[in-house]
Amino acid sequence: MADLTRDDVAHLAGLARIDLSEAELDRMVGELGVILESVATVQQAPTDGVEPMSHPMPLVNVTRPDVVRPSLSPDAALAGAPDAEQQRFSVPRILDEE
């Protein structure tokens, strides 16, 4: 793998619109180099026959069937409401339109 240069880091910082000081550029050369080496190591893992996945653990979506069941009528649902209008809860306006 090609060595990462200070100019490469400056170019990447410019693409990311990150303003780095001279000291930060020097430090990032080493840090980004370590990251690139780590990625290269992971890319060497034997993945033949390994099925791609989005999560390391199998996910199961716990849902119930969507079945129509009896529920409250609009009148019963609004029975305890302080105020109702057109089969809806009526609440006082708290914001003025401007």
- Domains of the chain, with CATH numbers? 6-43 (1.10.20)
pLDDT in tens, 64-92: 899 999 999 989 999 999 999 998 999 98
The pLDDT-based confidence of 15 (bands split at 50, 70, 90) is very high
End-to-end CA distance of the chain: 62
pLDDT value of residue 3: 84
Percent of the chain topping pLDDT 70 = 96
pTM (global) more than 0.75: no
Instruction: Determine the Cα–Cα distance for residues 59 and 57; give it in Å rounded to an integer.
Output: 6
Instruction: Determine the Cα–Cα distance for residues 35 and 55; give it in Å rounded to an integer.
Output: 22
